[in-house]
Amino acid sequence: MKVVTSAQELPSACAFVPTMGALHAGHGSLFQIASQFSENVVASIYINPLQFDDQNDLAKYPQTPEADIELAQKFGVTHLWFPTYEEIYPDGFLRLTAGPIADLYEGASRPGHFDGVVTVVRRLFDLVQPQVAIFGEKDFQQLTLVRQIADEVQIVAAPIIREEDGLAMSSRNVRLDVQGRIAARVISRALRDSSSEAQLREILATEPALTLDYADYIDEQTFMAPTETTRFTRAIVAGWINGVRLLDNMPVKSERI
């Protein structure tokens, strides 16, 4: 594996996985999927300041570069790129607006977050010029918005990878203490066991340590409430446990609606 600090050192054709580091087995699954599309698997590690509305959250974001290099190599990354701020955001760079879906759910709780996401993803795509890019379904709203600005890049959705207790893998999980980690199990249990939006919220309400932001059934295409014309419904949940924001989602089978 080659560790690089400039996009000029990257191969001309590749499958690409953008990350913010603190890599775990969930990222590893994305790298393995990328290897199915190209012999060149490029991963980037860049903590994007534009997508943090809370500077304290930015400051607390875990940074583990040595462990990241080890994990990336283990899961088949051929080029690991640590870009600089100046390379990503030169003078006069174009800031994008993510559109109306970006104002819902995560966007409502984190104003400007998705504008920062699509801006950095567009910049990364322009620099890397990948044929394929892999994004996880855990950040389902992000995945939806990235697809809207991908243009010439094929976006491949990767399934959520879960811990043995059901918790969706996330770089933020390391900030949970033992009790917080136990409490967090309620999220995947509610998604798995609920048969309606009301029941989803009822199960989540049984955990006093969880401060719920939202828990809804949505139309995957519009992010609005499902209707009789909805083809695919997804349950989405976000909330805080001990100050750590957790996201999760799960497709809803038709018999559960």
Residue showing tokens 């006093």: 208
Torsional sign, CA 235, 134, 43, 127 = negative
Tell me which residue of 101, 124, 21, 108 sits closest to 65, measured CA to CA.
21
Torsional sign, CA 66, 166, 109, 93 = positive
Cβ-Cβ contacts under 8 Å for 205 (sequence gap 6 or more): 212
φ and ψ of 233, to 5 deg: -110, 145
| C-alpha to C-alpha distances, 190 to 75, 225, 234, 249, nearest whole angstrom | 31, 19, 13, 10
Cβ-Cβ contacts under 8 Å for 35 (sequence gap 6 or more): 15, 41, 76
> Which residues are known catalytic residues?
27
**Cβ(41)–Cβ(76) below 8 Å:** yes
